[in-house]
Chains A and B, each alone.
Chain A
Amino acid sequence: MKKSVLLAAAAAVVLSAVGAQAQDFTIGLSNGWVGSEWRTQMIEEAQEAAKKWADKGVNVEVVVQSANVDVPGQIAHVRNFINQGVDAIIINPNSPTAFDPVFAQAKEAGILVISTDAEVSSPDAIYVGIDQTAWGAAGAKWLAETLGGKGEVVAINGVAGHPANEMRVAGYRSVFKDYPDIKVVNEVNANWDQAQGQQAMQNILATYPNINGVWVQDGMAAGAWRSIIDAGKTNDIAATGEIRKDFIDLWVENNLNSGASVNPPGVMASALNVAVLMLQGKELKQPATAGQYGNAMYLEIPFIDSSNVKEIHSQLEGKPGHYSYTHSLSIEEAEALFK
C-alpha cells in the first residue's frame, strides 16, 4: 500500500516534470445558446481541434460552458472562467457590446479573449470569424448575377436588431444597390426559423407571383425552398440556400437554382488554433484591426453553388441530416498567419 503511494507520488513528480517541458494551456469555451445543431457542431469541432495539438507537444485542455443563458448568465460564464484561472476564453457572445466590462476584467487577469461567430465591441478582445456583411453580400452577388442583373427580389431576414442579421442585411443591400434593375419588392423577418421561413415564402408567393429571386439566410432557406417546390416554381425562381446536409440533398435531388454562403461551424476551431498560437507568444502578421470595432480578423468565406455542390454533396455522404458543411483553419494554416 505504502509502496504504491510512493510510486504514484514518483509518477506524479515525473509527469509534472514532463508537463513543465510540454506546454499546457487551458481554454474556456462559452456558448450562450444551444438552439441549433450548428452550435453543437461548433463546440465539437473546437474540442477536436484542441486534441490535435497533442501531436505538436502542446496540451490544450478545453473547458466548456454551453447552455441557454441570458446576457448576465453568459457574463457569469466569463467570470467562472476567470475564477478558474484559464489561459484563454473563446466565446460565441449573446451580445456584441455587453461584455466590455467583464472582458476588461479578464484581460486584467491576464486572460486572452477571442470572440467568434459574432463580433464584440470590446478593445480587450479580438474577433476571429467570418465577416457577416461579406457573407450577406456574397449571396446577393450570386443572386444578382444568376438573375442577369434584372428582376424582382424579396429578402427573408432573421431576427430584427440582431447584429449578425443587421450586418447581413447591410451586405445584400450594398450589392443590390449596384444593380439598378434588381428591385427588392419586400423584406420580411422570419426569425431564423425554418417553419416561419416556409410560411413567409408562401405569403410572398401569394402576394408576388412574378418574383424571380429570393435572398434568404440559414435554416429559413430550407423552409423557403419547400414552399417554392410545393408551388411548382422550382424552375422559375433562384434563391439562396444553406449548408446543412438535408438541404444539400434536396438541392442536388431537385437540381435547385441555389447558391449558399458558408458560415462554417469550424470558426470556433479556427479561433482555438489562433488562440493557442497567441498563447505561445507569437504575433500575427496582420494585426486584428478589421471590422467596425477595429479588432477583427476575418476568415475566408466558402461558397457553394452549382459548380461545387455535387462535390460537397459527396463529401457529406454518411453524415447526419443536420450536419453543416464546415471548414476551419488547420494548425498549419493558422501558423501561416503568424510571424
Chain B
Amino acid sequence: MSASETTAASRSGIAGLVERFPFLPALVILIVLLALNGWFQPNSLGFRAITGLISTYLALMMLAVAQTYVVYSGDVDLSVGAILSLVNCAIVVLMERWGGGGGAVLAACAVGILTGLACGLLNGVVVAVLRLQAIVATFATSILFTGMALYVLPVAGTPAPTVYWRTYGGRFFEIPFVFYVVAALAIVLAIAVRARLTTQMLAVGDDAFKAFQSGLPVTAIRLKGYVLCGLFSALAALCITGDTASGDPLVGGAMTLYSVAAVVLGGTALSGGRGSVGGSVLGALIIGLISSFVFYVGTPSQWQNLVQGLAILLALMLGILVTRRVRA
C-alpha cells in the first residue's frame, strides 16, 4: 500500500490527487479554518494577524517537520520538545556569554544546530543501532535533554540579544522576516521530497524487513532520520528564541505531542511508509488556527479545552476518512 506501489496514474479525480498529494485534506481543512476565523474575527485575516500566526507557529512547523522524518520510517521521537528546550537555552546562554554581537549570534546558532544534530544522533544510536523501543527510548532521552537544559539554564530568564529577536520579528524590503524563513523552508522541503533518502525512509516505514531484504541499509536510514529530526528541532529552537527572546528550560515540553498531532493532521501515517513534510507544516498551522477559532467563536473558558480537543479530533477524522476512502 505504499506510495510507490499504487501510482497516481492508475487513479482518477480527487482520489488520484489525494494519492499524489497526501496533504490535500489538510490543505482543505486549513482553508476552511482560515475562512471560519475570518468570518468570526475579520481582523484575523489581516496582514499583521497572519504574520503573527506564522511567527508564533513557525517553531511548531519546524518541529512537525522534524517529527515527520522519524515517523516516515515508522519511528517516533518524544524528545523533540526537550531538544528544542536544550538548544534554546544553549544559544541564549552562549549569545550572552560571547557578548551578544552579530558574530556571537551566528556562532551560537551554529553551536545550537550542532547540539540538535548531536541529540538526534544519540536518539538514532539508541533506537536504530541499539534497537530500543523508539517511544520509550526517546522518552528517556527527553528527560536527559531536559536535565541538560536545566543545567545550562536553571531558571527561565536570560534575554536573547535585541539584534536577534528584532531580526526575527522585523521586516526586510517591507516583507516580514518569517515569510523568508517559510519560503526557504518550502524550497528545502521541496528538494528533500525528491531526495533518495526520503524514498528510502518511506520504504523502511512501509516494511522494514522487506526493505532490509532488498538491500537497503535500514539501520543507517533510521539513524539519518533521527539526525534530521535533531536538525529541524534545533531550527525550531532558533524560531522559538526569535519569538520569545529568551531562554526557558521547560519551553518545549508541551510541544512534543503537538508535533506528533501536526504530523498526523498533515496526512502522514504514524505507522510509517507514507506522508509528506508539507502536510506536517499545514498540520502545525491547523493546530494554531483551531485554538484561535475556539476563542473567536466565543467559547466559554471552561469549555475551551473540550472544544479544542473535539475540533482537533474532527480534523483528524476528516483527514483519515478521506485518505481511507481514497485508498480503499
Contact = CB atoms under 8 A, between A and B. Distances in A.
Interface string B232-273: 000000001001111111111111001000000000000000
B43 A84 contact: yes
B241 to A, nearest CB: 10
A77 B41 CA distance: 14
Central interface residue in B46, B59, B246, B253, by most chain A CB within 10 Å: B246
Residue among B158, B159, B304 with the most chain A CB within 10 A? B304
A101 B302 contact: no
A302 interface: no
Interface in B158-187: 158-159, 165, 169
A121 interface: yes
Nearest to B251: A71
B301 A95 contact: no
A98 B156 contact: yes
B99 interface: no
Nearest to B157: A97
A95 B52 CA distance: 19
A335 interface: no
Contacts of B251: 70-71, 95, 98
A85 B49 CA distance: 12
B23 interface: no
Contacts of A121: 157, 159, 246
A256 B27 CA distance: 60
A159 B298 CA distance: 33
Contacts of A71: 240, 244, 248, 251, 254
A109 B324 CA distance: 46
Interface string B271-314: 00000000000000000100110111010111011001000000
A100 B60 CA distance: 19
A99 B155 contact: no
A160 B154 CA distance: 8
A72 B43 CA distance: 20
A68 B254 contact: yes
Q: Which range holds the interface residue count of chain B? A: 35 or more
B305 A79 contact: no
B19 to A, nearest CB: 33
B288 A64 contact: no
Nearest to B92: A97
Interface string A72-91: 11011101101111000000
Contact of B249 (A34, A68, A161): A161
Contact of B156 (A63, A105, A161): A161
A163 interface: yes
B189 interface: no
A97 B159 contact: yes
A84 B154 CA distance: 36
Given A79-B56, A83-B43, A84-B41, A101 B156 contact: no
Nearest to B308: A67
A69 B291 contact: yes
A99 B292 contact: no
Nearest to B158: A97
A95 B156 contact: yes
A65 B44 contact: no
Nearest to B241: A98
B135 to A, nearest CB: 20
A319 interface: no
A296 B34 CA distance: 38
A201 interface: no
B288 A76 contact: yes
A41 to B, nearest CB: 12
Contacts of B292: 76, 80
Interface string A92-135: 00011111111001000000000000000100000000000000
Interface in A31-48: 31, 34, 40, 43
A282 interface: no
A31 B302 CA distance: 11
A119 B158 CA distance: 14
Interface in A129-171: 159-163, 166
A196 interface: no
A26 interface: no
B118 interface: no
A71 B239 CA distance: 13
Nearest to A31: B301
A65 B303 CA distance: 10
B154 to A, nearest CB: 6
A270 to B, nearest CB: 19
Contact of A101 (B41, B53, B244, B247): B244
Contacts of B302: 40, 66
Given A65-B301, A67-B308, A100-B244, A163 B155 contact: yes
A34 B52 CA distance: 24
Contacts of A98: 156, 243-246, 248, 251
A97 B246 contact: yes
B72 interface: no
Nearest to B154: A161
Contacts of B253: 70
A161 B240 CA distance: 18
Contact of B56 (A40, A63, A72): A72
B57 interface: yes
B169 A101 contact: yes
B311 to A, nearest CB: 11
Contacts of B126: none
Nearest to A65: B295
- Residue from A31, A100, A101, A160 having most chain B Cβ neighbours under 10 A: A101
Given A43-B301, A67-B308, A95-B250, 11 more contacts: A63-B295, A66-B305, A70-B255, A79-B49, A80-B44, A83-B41, A97-B157, A98-B156, A98-B243, A100-B246, A121-B159
The 10 closest A-B pairs by CB, nearest first: A97-B246, A98-B244, A70-B254, A64-B301, A66-B301, A79-B52, A83-B43, A67-B304, A67-B305, A100-B245
13 contacts: A31-B301, A67-B304, A71-B240, A72-B59, A80-B292, A95-B250, A96-B248, A97-B245, A98-B246, A101-B243, A101-B245, A121-B159, A161-B150
